[in-house]
């Protein structure tokens, strides 16, 4: 079957969530407006995630997986998803399912005219400190990137795969995907989506990950922006 959209699902110690991931994403693939497959990326999980992922893929032909030898981080998992995607469009959703797979349809409505469409969690269901730290981090990133995005860390995105594959990822760069599309001369848009509390598993990011590390990553982004190579081939033999 020829697919049009690959949904990347990074997985790190999410055994408690994976059956729900299977159920929700299978339901979405059966009703999606485009032919959709799922790529589970095991980021060196230490629990039973890998075994469960293999079982899920064995019983669902539209599900595939890749597995890292060791934990490499969220940016590496997303980068691997981009590298292994074989469809024109590549989506991304977190395995905690705090966003709704059916909201991919909202992004698909806009992607024809854009190169990245990202969700915007306008009514977040997280703790006050988590919401505040994310707001501060997004504000600081906007000072550096001027990408106009209110929620660059939202774990629901669709990107044109040719643009995604040209992003030179490093740790933390998953927070700058809209800005990296702009560096390529691409077009970006944000769309309000639903957000839900985490109901299983353990959050992987704390206050340091949401404030200190993102600030350090901003300087990495500035170096990337200054040295980024962007070319377009207009003729070839």
Are the beta carbons of 53 and 94 closer than 8 angstroms?
no
Strands, E assignment, the chain: 5-11, 36-42, 63-67, 89-93, 116-121, 156-160, 188-193
Tokens coding 207: 């206050």
Tokens coding 185: 């001369």
Q: Which pLDDT score, from 0 to 100, does residue 143 have?
A: 72
Mode of pairing for the β-strands spanning 89-93 and 116-121: unpaired
Cα–Cα distance for residue pair 51/33, rounded to 1 Å:
31
DSSP label at residue 178: H
Give CA separation, 2 vs 18, 31, 59, 86, 146, in Å. Answer: 25, 16, 19, 10, 37
pLDDT tens track, the chain, 237 positions: 699 999 999 999 999 999 999 999 999 999 999 999 999 999 999 999 999 999 999 999 999 999 999 999 999 999 999 999 999 999 999 999 999 999 999 999 999 999 999 999 876 655 555 555 566 666 677 777 778 787 888 899 999 999 999 998 788 888 889 999 999 999 999 999 998 876 776 665 554 555 567 777 888 888 878 888 887 788 898
Q: For residue 99, count CB atoms less than 10 angstroms from its CB and return exposed for 0-12, middle for 13-18, buried for 19 or more.
A: buried
Q: Which pLDDT score, from 0 to 100, does residue 134 have?
A: 62
Count CB-CB contacts under 10 A for residue 122.
14
Q: Which pLDDT score, from 0 to 100, does residue 199 have?
A: 76
User: How distant is the alpha carbon of residue 28 from its chain centre?
Assistant: 17
Tokens coding 130: 């988590």
In the structure, how many helices (H) and strands (E) does the chain have? 9, 7
Collapsing DSSP to helix, strand or coil, 82 comes out as helix
Are the beta carbons of 103 and 156 closer than 8 angstroms?
yes
**Looking at the domain that runs over 5-227, which CATH code has it been given?**
3.90.550.10
State the angle between helix axes of 128-145 and 212-227 in degrees (0 to 180), rounded to the nearest 10.
Answer: 20
Q: Which pLDDT score, from 0 to 100, does residue 208 have?
A: 54
Q: Which pLDDT score, from 0 to 100, does residue 220 have?
A: 80
Are the beta carbons of 10 and 96 closer than 8 angstroms?
no
């Amino acid at each position: 079957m020829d697919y049009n959209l690959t949904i990347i699902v990074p997985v790190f110690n999410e055994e408690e969530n994976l059956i729900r991931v299977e159920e929700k994403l299978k339901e979405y693939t059966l009703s999606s407006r485009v032919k959709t497959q799922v790529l589970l990326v095991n980021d060196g999980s230490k629990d039973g995630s890998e075994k469960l992922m293999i079982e899920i893929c064995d019983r669902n032909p539209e599900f595939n997986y890749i597995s890292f030898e060791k934990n490499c981080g969220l940016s590496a998992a997303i980068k691997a998803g981009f590298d292994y995607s074989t469809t024109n469009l590549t989506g991304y959703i977190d395995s905690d399912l705090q966003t709704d797979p059916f909201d991919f349809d909202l992004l698909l409505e806009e992607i024809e005219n854009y190169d990245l469409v990202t969700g915007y969690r306008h009514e977040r269901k997280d703790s006050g400190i988590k919401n505040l730290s994310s707001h501060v981090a997004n504000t600081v990133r906007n000072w550096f990137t001027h990408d106009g995005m209110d929620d660059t860390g939202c774990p629901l995105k669709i990107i044109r795969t040719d643009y995604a594959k040209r992003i030179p990822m490093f740790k933390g760069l998953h927070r700058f995907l809209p800005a990296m599309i702009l560096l390529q001369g691409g077009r970006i848009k944000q769309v309000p989506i639903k957000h839900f509390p985490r109901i299983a598993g353990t959050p992987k990011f704390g206050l340091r990950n949401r404030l200190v590390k993102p600030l350090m990553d901003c300087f990495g982004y500035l170096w990337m922006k200054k040295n980024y190579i962007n070319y377009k081939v207009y003729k070839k033999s």
